[in-house]
Amino acid sequence: MNRRELLQSGTLVLLLGTAQIARGATILAVRVWPAPDYSRVTIESDGHLATKQLFVPSPPRLAVDIEGIELNPALRELVAKVKPDDPNIAGIRVGQFAPNVVRLVIDLKLPITPQVFALDPVAAYQHRLVLDLYPTQAADPLAALIAERLKDKEAAAAPAAPASAARPHDPLGDLIAQQTRKSTAPASPASAPVSGASGAATTRPEGQNQPQTSGNGKTERLIIVALDPGHGGEDPGAIGPGGTREKDVVLRLAHRLRERINATTINGNPMRAYLTRDADFFVPLHVRVNKARQVKADLFISLHADAFYTPRPQGASVFALSQSGASSSAARWMAAKENKADLIGGLNVKAKDAHVQRMLFDMSTTAQINDSLKLGNTMLKEIGRVGKLHKAQVEQAGFAVLKAPDIPSVLVEAAFISNPEEETKLNSDAYQEQLADALMRSIEGYFARNPPLARSRSV
Ligand SMILES: [Zn+2]
């Protein structure tokens, strides 16, 4: 392009720019985050977008009119960004519906309860219009875990005995029934087999999930460890100098730890890992806590990777909740940083459940914190055998994600992703394996001293 053409196109851009400011906003980027829990479509723009929406139940589709914009290539990209295996979205159509009005039609695979909301600019993002598509019939995570365990048992005890004898007063059966009644998932918990967050097929509790019994007819106590891979979706977490994203390495670590947990029994009771997210999508902090409580988890372990402005800091840290201020200014800073995840990930603050649930989780207990400190200390000891420690003691601060009042909860910063050497380690299979082994040993060590059966459960 010569100088004259450049000048001309410059003028053209200038004219277009003026025209667009007069009309409204320009679409900068579009993103789709598919997950069994819900699928999200994000439209990022340089100004606030006014919308009108209409949900059509049959066949299920959501029409959204965005006013004050023209169809542009960024917006057209949405069509190709939907993956065939998206659990909720069948496809997206876009068109210029009227001058200055673009219509999106999202064709859905199942009935959906949509949440459409706007987010103000934050961190690296400009204005975001968010379309969250929740299955109207939410999956039941506890039923999924139990179904998964049953499948394993049947496979192990082939030829499988027919699971037909219902035991109406079995505690596990009651637990499932209670879970169904108490479910506070964003969408109403009705009955349909939907793929659960753990990736397992969900079966309905009523009559289909038989309580498990061991050979002598004694009921098994399923020991559930909630693993909480930090960040996800719009929130990448910390990013290393080589471009490694915290949300990716911690999900891989969670998968490795899940394998180990699912292969372990404690005093004859089988263990199961439950992941608060098993894909790349945003889960609000209070929802992570709520999910762990829904499955009545015995432990909650949030997995993260640390970052600092300079490359030198290194080593792992473990945090527990604090009732009376942070144990150090570094811990306070870290909690404030992690608590920002909702802002970046994109929380719908107007959603009914958000406020109430966050209030509920402000009732931390001394017993929970004491148990968390025990777990944390065991973890530091075990992680110290395979890698460096940033702090030799468990630190405490007001982490929102550690606020389940009845579940010992720790947050592990596995290493500093901002340190080039540790970024490489976090990416390496060998170190991930070592870390997962260390975390598994600490879980077993904790249960050896604090048997899960001795702990009373508030249901
Ligand atoms: Zn983090």
Least confident of 76-85, 167-176, 229-238: 167-176
320 C-alpha to ligand 1 centroid (Å)? 14
Query: What pLDDT was estimated at residue 42?
Result: 97
**CA dist., res. 20 & res. 375, Å (int):** 57
* pTM: predicted TM-score of the whole model, two decimal places: 0.80
**CA dist., res. 394 & res. 215, Å (int):** 41
56 C-alpha to ligand 1 centroid (Å)? 39
**10 or 116: which carries more pLDDT confidence?**
116
140 C-alpha to ligand 1 centroid (Å)? 27
What is the SS3 assignment for 112? strand
305 C-alpha to ligand 1 centroid (Å)? 6
298 C-alpha to ligand 1 centroid (Å)? 22
**CA dist., res. 294 & res. 273, Å (int):** 13
Nearest to 233 by CA among 74, 84, 342, 89: 342
Query: What pLDDT was estimated at residue 305?
Result: 96
**Where does the chain hold its CATH 2.60.40.3500 domain(s)?**
23-135
425 C-alpha to ligand 1 centroid (Å)? 17
238 C-alpha to ligand 1 centroid (Å)? 6
378 C-alpha to ligand 1 centroid (Å)? 21
316 C-alpha to ligand 1 centroid (Å)? 12
Nearest to 173 by CA among 136, 138, 204: 204
231 C-alpha to ligand 1 centroid (Å)? 6
Q: Which tokens is 37 given?
A: 């829990």
List pLDDT tens digits, range 310-322.
999 999 999 999 9
Mean pLDDT score, 87-116:
95
**255 or 169: which carries more pLDDT confidence?**
255
Taking the alpha carbons of 8, 9, 12, 17 in that order, is the dihedral positive or negative?
Answer: negative
**339 or 452: which carries more pLDDT confidence?**
339
Q: Which tokens is 421 given?
A: 């050497």
Q: Which amino acid is at 427?
A: N
What is the SS3 assignment for 356? helix
CA triple 295-288-331, angle to 5 deg: 125
CA triple 403-406-411, angle to 5 deg: 45
426 C-alpha to ligand 1 centroid (Å)? 14
Mean pLDDT for the chain overall: 82
**CA dist., res. 248 & res. 228, Å (int):** 12
Query: What pLDDT was estimated at residue 452?
Result: 81
Query: What pLDDT was estimated at residue 416?
Result: 94
Fold classified for 223-449: Aminopeptidase (3.40.630)
**Which residues sit opposite 42 in a β-bridge?**
31, 130
338 C-alpha to ligand 1 centroid (Å)? 6
**CA dist., res. 307 & res. 17, Å (int):** 38
Under 8 Å between Cβ of 238 and 306:
yes
89 C-alpha to ligand 1 centroid (Å)? 29
442 C-alpha to ligand 1 centroid (Å)? 21
> pLDDT category, 148, cuts 50, 70, 90?
confident
Q: 165-204 burial string, b = 16+ CB within 10 Å, else e?
A: eeeeeeebbebbeebbeebebbbebeeebbbbbbebebbb
237 C-alpha to ligand 1 centroid (Å)? 5
Mean pLDDT score, 49-56:
93
308 C-alpha to ligand 1 centroid (Å)? 12
> pLDDT category, 125, cuts 50, 70, 90?
very high
> pLDDT category, 23, cuts 50, 70, 90?
low
List pLDDT tens digits, range 153-180.
788 776 544 444 433 344 444 444 444 4
Half-sphere exposure of 55 (CA within 13 A, CB side): 15
390: left (phi over 0), alpha (psi -120 to 50) or beta: alpha
341 C-alpha to ligand 1 centroid (Å)? 8
**pLDDT at 202 exceeding the cut of 60:** no
Say how many C-beta atoms besides its own lie within 10 A of residue 348's C-beta. 18
**Which residues sit opposite 40 in a β-bridge?**
33, 132
> pLDDT category, 188, cuts 50, 70, 90?
very low
What is the SS3 assignment for 397? strand
Under 8 Å between Cβ of 209 and 183:
no
> pLDDT category, 360, cuts 50, 70, 90?
low
Most confident of 315-324, 355-364, 399-408, 436-445: 436-445
Query: What pLDDT was estimated at residue 373?
Result: 97
List pLDDT tens digits, range 381-395.
999 999 999 999 999
Under 8 Å between Cβ of 181 and 140:
no
**CA dist., res. 141 & res. 197, Å (int):** 7
445 C-alpha to ligand 1 centroid (Å)? 25
54 C-alpha to ligand 1 centroid (Å)? 37
> pLDDT category, 361, cuts 50, 70, 90?
low
109 C-alpha to ligand 1 centroid (Å)? 33
230 C-alpha to ligand 1 centroid (Å)? 5
**Where does the chain hold its CATH 3.40.630.40 domain(s)?**
223-449
Cα 238 off chain centre by: 16
Q: Which CATH architecture has domain 23-135?
A: Sandwich (2.60)
